[in-house]
Amino acid sequence: MKLPRILYLAFLSVLLPLPLLAQTGAMELTSPLPFDTAVRTGKLPNGLTYYIRHNSYPEHRAELRLVVHAGSILEDPDQQGLAHLTEHMCFNGTVEYPHNTLESFLEEHGARFGADLNASTSFDETIYKESLPTDQGPILDSGVDILAEWAHHVTFDSIEFEKERGVVREEWRLGRGAFERIYRKQAPIIFAGSRYAERNPIGLLPVIDTAHLATIKRFYHDWYRPDLMAVIIVGDFNVDSMVERVKSEFSPLTNPNPERPRTEYPIPMHEQTFVAVDTDREMPQTIFTMLFERPAKEVTTVADYRTEIVTALYEEMLNDRIHEAIQKGELPTAFAGAGDGAFLGHLKAFSIFALLQEDSVDSGVKGVLQQVFRAEQTGFDASELERAKASLLTKMGQQWNERDKTQSSAFVNEYNRNFTDQEPSPGIDYEYALYQKYVPTISLAEVNARSAQLMQNASPVMTFEGPASNKFTPPTKDQLLAILNTVKSEHYAAYVDKTSKAPLIATMPKPGKIVKETKLAPIGVTIWQLSNGARVIFKPTTFKEDEILFHAPDDLESVHCDVHVCSYRLIGLYRRRLGLAPSTPSRLFLSSSYSR
């Protein structure tokens, strides 16, 4: 479930056909959110959960995942780093595929290690990935076999174990960059009082170097068990046959007796603002972040989902204001923004972030915080809300129009989150209908109240990282706290919405002519030479509905244009460049997931 952005309220009556509204069933606020009926899901008697779905985009391909709800957070003191090393050992020998024959077998059928075959370990889960063809004989069945082998038949060969120590040591070494070094310093503050501060997935070198084979086998025995696993398979295949295949392969798995309880490790709440300021000689950017960590409320009802939409409207309006301030030169940052999203330890976090200029750190921090606290103090305008509503409905309309072209990998990731984080997955038809019904009913008072709700009764944390240089003096913790206190105590004038209604181009230029046309038939491209010397390369596609992509040689990025609205989303652009999720403060987790 993702809360998107962009479409006009004027199109409400045509975006959603009436029959679809009828199909979505009861949508009262107290109604529980359904699970997408396009997915075949269930739980085996041994506790293993499965998600199976047919999807033909891309054709003749399938995405397979084994999700183990166990990661570095569950390691004993003598196992720090062995959750990740266990992931490596799964590729180094199972009963059916001894030594490295598993990789060789899949590569013989066109699966490339890294792109089509991989795995990752994080704090709370380990994920095994296969991307396989469905039109090349029994390879798909073999892929399901391999998931089952990983689940309960890893051999832990002693020779391979010694080899993998060296591989993980090299990963540890290569990962010791500026972000990792700073993360190590800031984790005890961000995750204060929590096990998350001391269970980095890459682990500790002394443990990796000296751990006994029995110690890693103990981790595998305790946590690789069916009641902590999900099998997710989405692609171009027969669902009935695949369900039976999964049941046949995974029903024989048993849980250990006795089962070791899977302990949850919460992050303690605190009223005091914690601050971390760190520099590194190789740090390429100067970044400020403020987090407001709070207990996550599970989204189970229509009312809960409606609250998520209210949050998305608040984010849309706040980020538009921040973007406007940057454009006007009022906010001296390279980029800034805010968003709410999942955190760790059953928390959510509202995050404020800014890429700062080294000669204006104080004013940059102050400026972005002022935008947030002014919005909390004085609220938004009705005109801002209408634009935000239009934006959300536009994006949801685009998603619904593109529903038949959703990548199988997107579905797999959504069901993964449903399994590990209980994120709802009612399906695009139902979500689209919810937006159509409830977005128009959300009041300005609700959105203004949401501003305070995201920051009150939350644990505040500020972090700063920048280059260690004789030419740059970072702010102190006391200076950052002083800026925060000043910003919170200010009395703000209400924002005045001065959106221009003038046309984008007041006077249209005189049309030129196409003086030459060249067709490249093999690739479906037409080239037009214009009378002013410009050259246009045109290629029609059917990849997406209602979208045109423009690119000019001196642009850094393509501009995505809906048929109805053309919008350059700077926030989304910079968040992607930083490796950030759309509304999750995942910069903090750059070091939390290690792939083979």
322-374 confidence digits (pLDDT tens): 999 999 999 999 899 999 999 998 899 999 999 999 999 999 999 999 999 99
- Let me know whether 292 and 383 are in one domain: yes
Q: Specify which residues 436 forms β-bridges with.
A: none
Q: What is the pLDDT of residue 337?
A: 96
Q: What is the pLDDT of residue 509?
A: 84
- Let me know whether 73 and 122 are in one domain: yes
Q: Specify which residues 287 forms β-bridges with.
A: 355, 465
Identity of the amino acid at 291 = L
- Let me know whether 409 and 451 are in one domain: yes
Residue 475: φ, ψ to 5°: -70, 155
Last residue of a domain, one of 214, 233, 265: 265
Tell me how crowded residue 182 is: count the other CB atoms within 10 A of its CB.
23
Q: What is the CATH number of the domain that holds 322?
A: 3.30.830.10
Domain count of the chain? 3
Angle at 266 (CA atoms; ends 50, 175), nearest 5 degrees: 80
Residues 6 or more apart whose Cβ sits within 8 Å of residue 96: 145, 149, 153
CA pair distance 312, 297, nearest whole angstrom: 16
- Full 3-state SS string of 235-246: ECCCHHHHHHHH
CA pair distance 458, 448, nearest whole angstrom: 18
Residues 6 or more apart whose Cβ sits within 8 Å of residue 319: 337, 338, 339, 571
CA pair distance 486, 267, nearest whole angstrom: 28
Side-chain-side CA neighbours of residue 103 (13 Å)? 15
Work out the average pLDDT over 39-68: 97
Residue 49: φ, ψ to 5°: -100, 140
264-299, pLDDT tens digit by residue?
999 999 999 999 999 999 999 999 999 999 999 999
Residue with tokens 């520099």: 279
Report cis status (omega within 30 of 0) of the bond before 58. yes
Going by C-alpha positions, the residue among 583, 310, 339 that lies closest to residue 438 is: 310
pLDDT band at 446 (very low <50, low <70, confident <90, very high): very high
Identity of the amino acid at 579 = G
pLDDT band at 23 (very low <50, low <70, confident <90, very high): low
C-alpha dihedral, 91 to 94 to 96 to 97, nearest 10°: 30
Low-confidence winner among 77-81, 100-104, 187-191, 300-304 (lowest mean pLDDT): 100-104
For residue 230, what is the enclosing H or E element?
strand 229-235
Q: Indicate whether 576 belongs to any domain.
A: no
Q: What is residue 548's three-state secondary structure? A: strand
140-168, pLDDT tens digit by residue?
999 999 999 999 999 999 999 999 999 99
CA pair distance 417, 125, nearest whole angstrom: 11
Q: Indicate whether 499 belongs to any domain.
A: no
- Let me know whether 384 and 455 are in one domain: yes
Q: What is the pLDDT of residue 500?
A: 73
- Let me know whether 257 and 284 are in one domain: no
Work out the average pLDDT over 247-260: 97
Q: How far is CA 568 from CA 383, 384, 549, in A?
A: 20, 18, 11
CA pair distance 206, 210, nearest whole angstrom: 6
Low-confidence winner among 20-24, 226-230, 349-353 (lowest mean pLDDT): 20-24
Q: Indicate whether 575 belongs to any domain.
A: no
Q: Indicate whether 578 belongs to any domain.
A: no
pLDDT band at 62 (very low <50, low <70, confident <90, very high): very high
CA pair distance 147, 163, nearest whole angstrom: 23
Q: What is the DSSP letter of 287?
A: E
Q: Percent of the chain having pLDDT more than 70?
A: 88
Last residue of a domain, one of 204, 234, 265: 265
Q: What is residue 347's three-state secondary structure? A: strand
Q: Specify which residues 196 forms β-bridges with.
A: none
- CB distance 5 to 318 below 8 Å: no
Q: What is the mean pLDDT of the chain?
A: 87
Work out the average pLDDT over 29-35: 96
pLDDT band at 25 (very low <50, low <70, confident <90, very high): low
- 127, pLDDT greater than 80: yes
Q: What is the pLDDT of residue 24?
A: 58
- 588, pLDDT greater than 80: no
Side-chain-side CA neighbours of residue 101 (13 Å)? 12
Going by C-alpha positions, the residue among 499, 384, 355 that lies closest to residue 451 is: 384
- Let me know whether 339 and 483 are in one domain: yes
- CB distance 517 to 527 below 8 Å: yes
414 CA to centre of own chain: 10
Q: Domain span at residue 346?
A: 9-15+269-493
Last residue of a domain, one of 265, 299, 331: 265
Q: Which two tokens stand for residue 582?
A: 């759309």
pTM across the whole model = 0.85
Q: Indicate whether 415 belongs to any domain.
A: yes
Residues 6 or more apart whose Cβ sits within 8 Å of residue 118: 129, 595, 596
Q: What is the pLDDT of residue 554?
A: 55
pLDDT band at 6 (very low <50, low <70, confident <90, very high): very low
Q: Indicate whether 131 belongs to any domain.
A: yes
Kind of pairing, strands 347-356 and 459-467?
A: unpaired
- Let me know whether 289 and 208 are in one domain: no
- Let me know whether 230 and 369 are in one domain: no
Longest distance between any two alpha carbons in the chain, whole Å: 81
pLDDT band at 574 (very low <50, low <70, confident <90, very high): very low
- Let me know whether 287 and 436 are in one domain: yes
Work out the average pLDDT over 76-101: 95
- Let me know whether 417 and 294 are in one domain: yes
- Let me know whether 98 and 202 are in one domain: yes
Q: Indicate whether 473 belongs to any domain.
A: yes
Going by C-alpha positions, the residue among 108, 101, 201 that lies closest to residue 157 is: 101
Low-confidence winner among 159-173, 247-261, 270-284, 535-549 (lowest mean pLDDT): 535-549
Q: Indicate whether 393 belongs to any domain.
A: yes
Q: What is the pLDDT of residue 570?
A: 31
- Let me know whether 213 and 143 are in one domain: yes
Q: Specify which residues 120 forms β-bridges with.
A: 127, 595
- 562, pLDDT greater than 80: no
Of 2-6, 126-130, 513-517, which has the strongest mean pLDDT? 126-130
Q: What is the DSSP letter of 144?
A: H
CA pair distance 41, 261, nearest whole angstrom: 25
470-510, pLDDT tens digit by residue?
889 999 999 999 999 999 999 999 999 887 777 878 888 88
CA pair distance 51, 243, nearest whole angstrom: 9
Q: Which two tokens stand for residue 548?
A: 């045109």
For residue 129, what is the enclosing H or E element?
strand 126-133
CA pair distance 262, 256, nearest whole angstrom: 13
Q: Which residues of 546-576 are buried (b: 16+ CB within 10 A; e: fewer)?
A: eeeeeeeeeeeeeebebeeeeeebbbbebbe
Q: Percent of the chain having pLDDT more than 90?
A: 74
